[in-house]
Amino acid sequence: MNRPRQFDLICFDWDGTLFDSTAIIVRSIQQAVLDVGGAKPTDEAASYVIGMALMPALAHAAPDVPKEKYPLLGERYRHHYLATQHDISLFDGVLPMLADLKGRHHWLTVATGKSRRGLDDVLASRQLHGIFDGSRTADETAGKPDPRMLHELMREFGADPERTLMIGDTTHDLQMAVNAGCASVGVSYGAHEPSEFGTLRPRFIAHSATELHRWLADNA
């Protein structure tokens, strides 16, 4: 007999949680800042902003770049990211995990700092066709850790906060869950050090997509 579901709605962050893109995003941010004459951000500074909306992220990573250069900075970031985006892929174990969750009739959604265009490009792939029931991107609502993305998804699917789970690799994801009144799970293989997650009280910290799959099978 199937165990009852604990969560009706499961919201995934994209980069660094499902998609193995952290290193390429860091390099793209660093190169973009250099292109507009800024000082190269450290790996830590560049990875910290992953998950935020693009312009606040670039501003945080490049505090010495004047505001009038932000549009060019964003343009250079997109140039470098798009040139290498085909080098990145889903983490091992993600597809069977999503298929199992789909089979248990959870609503599966994405809540990401990516742009709508960027997310739609990757979701159009054949392997992801029909997997996700909904999504929100930072350019069409408020960026993390503002809870608006989660509020909108919960409203769309009629899910209560206590029946909603947010999964992500950054403190921005977990703080958004706290702000929305939802449970969260952190993953340690993305952009932020899991030692930073403790005060945000995730239910679990997974060290691989396979470990995340096992936890969800037993607890979601």
What's the pLDDT at 1? 40
Pick the CATH number of 9-20+90-219 from 3.40.640.10, 3.40.720.10, 2.60.40.10, 3.40.50.1000: 3.40.50.1000
Q: Decide: residue 216, CB within 10 A, 0-12 exposed, 13-18 middle, 19+ buried.
A: buried
- DSSP assignment, residue 162? G
Alpha helices in 104-170 (DSSP H): 116-123, 148-157
The H or E element containing residue 214 is helix 209-219
The stretch 32-48 carries a mean pLDDT of: 91
The domain locations on the chain are 9-20+90-219, 22-87
Convert the pLDDT of each residue in 9-28 to its tens digit: 999 999 889 988 777 888 89
Q: Given its phi and psi angles, is residue 95 left (phi above 0), alpha (psi -120 to 50 degrees) or beta?
A: alpha
What's the pLDDT at 88? 61
For residue 91, pLDDT beyond 80: yes
Give the fold, CATH level 3, of 22-87. DNA polymerase; domain 1 (1.10.150)
User: Is 21 in contact with 88 (CB distance < 8 Å)?
Assistant: yes
What's the pLDDT at 151? 98
Q: How many helices (H) and strands (E) does the chain have?
A: 9, 6
- The encoded tokens of residue 133 equal 């029931």
Convert the pLDDT of each residue in 120-165 to its tens digit: 988 888 788 899 999 999 999 998 999 999 999 999 999 999 999 9
Count of C-beta atoms within a 10 Å radius of residue 84 = 15
